[in-house]
Every structure is written in structure tokens, then in C-alpha cells.
């Protein structure tokens, strides 16, 4: 049986690790905030440092907030690299399921391969709901041989698993995903604020749009959150800002213009300035409400009053 390590047990990582344990794998766990009792009661084994996880596991999964976090977990004192053997016969696989810089990912790939181990990037989409329900979309950058080994493990956490190409391409795909998600969130928020301010019931507007060409998963899930003003984070604004920053940085290197992404990033900056950094990314509607001088009223037909 393959031993699996899992590092990073936040909103996404905790349920993802739980699926692996329930799938029958021995799972070794580490999180800087501590390993939840829920996972150890299922049979997961808590480890004091990333290096201990790497020493005991054959495949080490990372689910961390940002590029510096991944670098620290991999290469700092007591990091993953300290638990990796330099014996080629004991080659292990690191799967980074975080959303981080494609450029830095390729650097990490090189550094891990230099000591005889493999690296795959496999960022996810689907938020906390997808993590809990094991329905995540997983975008994989890996060699064909590595992908064949890790696909059954990824299948315990996700529903749609696609090999995009060589290591690093998974992060490119995730950046594209975050561009689409952010711009669609902004569009849904604009539409609902507009409808409410114009005197239509935005709840009925949303229901009508779900049956037409404007239908989307974001309109379905996040549109409801906007109408109810329930912004408990599934995916926080500060993290979405980080992801758009990654996309914009890469675009600058490539000489590609992303005007819509830049605009949405600016709106998220305003959200942070108004104290919403830790709210769900659907809370972008709040800054648009401020700009309109109008708050959505979903339960009754809205008036024209600001």
C-alpha cells in the first residue's frame, strides 16, 4: 500500500486528506496550525514537521496558501527535502495542489529532480464544496509516467482530472481558471446590483438567468451568496487576489494584456481596503453596492431608493 503524506489542512486540505484516509491509504499529516482530531480519529497519523511526513510517505501532497509557503515547506529546515532520500531506488513523488506561481513551480521541479525525486503540480478548482464532496476539478502538470501513478489517488479527491502537460502547466491552467472565475464573479455581482437598483427582484432575475445562456455555476452558487449576503469563506478574497496577482505577473513576463483581470484585481483591492479580505470572494458584490449607493434587496421587489 502506498503511504501518502498530506501537508496543509485548512478549509480545502482537511476534507481532501479525509477522503484519502477513508480510501484506505495510510496518511501522514502535518499542518502549522496542528492536525485536527477529526483526521487522527479516522486513522491519520500526525507528524511534527514536513520532513517527518516526507520520510514516512511515498507520495507527499501539499495544499498551502501561496508560493512562499510551498517553498518554505519544501526547502526550509525540517522541510520536505530533509525527509527525502538521495537513493535513486527510493524515488518519491511530490504533488503540489496549492495554487502558486508557474515560474516558481518550474524552479521547484528542477530542485526536486536534482536529488532524484519527481514533482507534479495539481491545483484544484471547486472550492470548499468541491473539497468536501470530492468533486474537485484537478489540473495536472506531470510526466505521463507520474500521472499514471498519481491519478488513482487524485480520483479520491476530484471528479474531473486532466493532465495538461509537463510540470508547471497545471498552474498555468489554474491561473486561467481564476481569471474566468474572478471576471464572472464580478459580472454576476454587477448584474444583480443593476437589477435590484432598477427595481426588479434580483432573486427572480437570477432564477431566470439560470435557465438561459448566462447560466453558470458561479451565478448558481455565488449569486445566491450575494443575494443572501452570506460570505462565510469557501475561497477568500485575499486568496483570489493572490491568484490574480500570479496571472498578472505571468502576463507581464509574456507581454500579454489582461485588462479585465486588472480591473477585477483593483475591485478586490478595494474590498480589502474595506475590511473584506477574509470574506468569500463573492463579497465583491459589497464594493459594487458601495459604488452604486444601493444594497441588494432579494426578498422583495427592490425600490429605486438608494
* Residue 303 three-state SS: coil
What nine digits make up the cell of 289? 453596492
Grid cell 473584506 in the structure block, residue: 276
134 — alpha (psi -120 to 50), left (phi > 0) or beta? left
Active site residue 92: no
Residue-wise DSSP of 87-100: -GGG--EEEE-S--
* Residue 29 three-state SS: strand
Catalytic one of 92, 174, 242, 290: 174
* Rounded CA separation 251/301 (Å): 43
Residue 280 CB-half CA count within 13 A: 22
What angle, rounded to 10 degrees, do the helices at 169-197 and 259-273 form?
70
Residues 6+ apart with CB under 8 A from 14: 36, 38, 39, 131
- C-alpha angle 73/30/55, rounded to 5°? 75
DSSP state at residue 158? E
* Rounded CA separation 166/147 (Å): 10
Q: How far, in Å, are 65, 115, 191, 196, 263 from residue 123 at the CA level?
A: 11, 24, 30, 36, 24
| Residues designated as active site | 174
Amino acid at each position: 500500500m502506498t503511504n501518502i503524506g498530506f501537508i496543509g489542512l485548512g478549509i480545502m486540505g482537511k476534507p481532501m486528506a479525509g477522503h484519502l484516509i477513508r480510501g484506505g491509504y495510510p496518511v501522514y499529516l502535518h499542518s502549522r496550525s496542528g492536525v485536527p482530531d477529526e483526521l487522527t480519529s479516522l486513522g491519520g497519523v500526525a507528524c511534527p514537521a514536513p520532513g517527518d511526513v516526507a520520510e514516512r510517505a511515498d507520495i507527499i501532497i501539499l495544499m498551502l496558501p501561496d508560493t512562499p509557503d510551498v517553498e518554505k515547506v519544501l526547502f526550509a529546515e525540517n522541510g520536505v527535502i530533509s525527509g527525502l532520500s538521495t537513493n535513486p531506488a527510493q524515488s518519491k513523488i511530490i504533488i503540489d495542489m496549492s495554487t502558486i506561481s508557474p515560474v516558481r513551480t518550474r524552479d521547484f521541479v528542477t530542485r526536486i529532480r536534482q536529488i532524484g525525486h519527481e514533482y507534479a503540480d495539481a491545483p484544484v478548482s471547486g472550492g470548499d464544496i468541491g473539497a468536501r464532496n470530492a468533486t474537485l476539478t484537478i489540473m495536472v502538470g506531470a510526466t505521463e509516467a507520474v500521472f499514471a501513478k498519481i491519478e488513482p489517488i487524485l480520483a479520491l479527491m476530484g471528479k474531473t482530472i486532466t493532465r495538461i502537460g509537463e510540470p508547471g502547466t497545471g498552474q498555468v491552467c489554474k491561473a486561467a481558471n481564476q481569471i474566468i472565475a474572478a471576471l464572472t464573479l464580478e459580472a454576476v455581482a454587477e448584474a444583480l446590483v443593476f437589477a435590484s437598483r432598477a427595481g426588479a427582484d434580483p432573486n427572480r432575475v437570477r432564477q431566470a438567468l439560470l435557465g438561459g445562456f448566462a447560466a453558470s455555476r458561479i451565478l448558481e452558487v455565488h449569486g445566491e451568496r450575494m443575494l443572501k449576503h452570506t460570505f462565510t469563506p469557501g475561497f477568500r478574497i485575499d486568496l483570489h487576489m493572490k491568484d490574480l496577482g500570479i496571472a498578472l505577473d505571468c502576463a507581464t513576463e509574456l507581454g500579454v494584456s489582461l485588462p479585465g483581470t486588472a480591473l477585477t484585481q483593483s475591485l478586490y483591492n478595494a474590498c480589502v481596503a474595506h475590511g473584506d479580505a477574509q470574506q468569500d470572494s463573492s463579497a465583491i458584490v459589497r464594493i459594487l453596492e458601495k459604488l452604486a449607493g444601493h444594497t441588494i434587496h432579494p426578498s422583495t421587489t427592490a425600490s429605486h431608493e438608494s
